[in-house]
Amino acid sequence: MAKKSMVNREEKRQKLVKQHASKRAALKAVINDQSKPMEERFKATLKLAEMPRNSSATRLHNRCQLTGRPHAYYRKLKLSRIMLRELASFGQIPGMVKSSW
């Protein structure tokens, strides 16, 4: 089980990303628009830099939904390899059977 503080930190980042997504997208559109004057694009860059760092989607890290483990994460299932194997062994994932001989 991952540290609770790390899981909580990741949840906080997800909330911030969702909260600031539209504003960040608008600022990035202004910054990338070559037809706008340089001063306006520079002001948008400064506003983007003032926003919280954790509101950027690149700061998110995938974690297992059950344990919070950050490594060996399967995106489709949102689980780590360890929990995937355990749930497959118990027959909790439809269509998946753990092979053993």
Residue 100 has pLDDT above 80, yes or no: no
**Chain segment 14-24, per-residue pLDDT in tens:** 999 999 999 99
pLDDT value of position 101? 65
Q: Please tell me the predicted confidence (pLDDT) of residue 2.
A: 77
| Residue 5: half-sphere exposure toward Cβ, Cα within 13 Å | 0
CA gap 67, 64 in Å, rounded: 6
Alpha-carbon distance of 84 to 71, in angstroms, equals 13
Alpha-carbon radius of gyration of the chain = 20
pLDDT reported for residue 98: 72
Q: C-alpha angle with apex 67: 64 to 72, nearest 5 degrees?
A: 45
Q: Tokens standing for 101?
A: 């001989």
**pLDDT tens for residues 65-98?**
999 999 999 999 999 999 999 999 888 988 887 7
Type of residue at 12: K
- The 10s digit of each residue's pLDDT in 47-66 is 999 999 999 999 999 999 99
pTM of the model: 0.75
Q: Tell me the two tokens of residue 37.
A: 């004057």
pLDDT at 91: 87
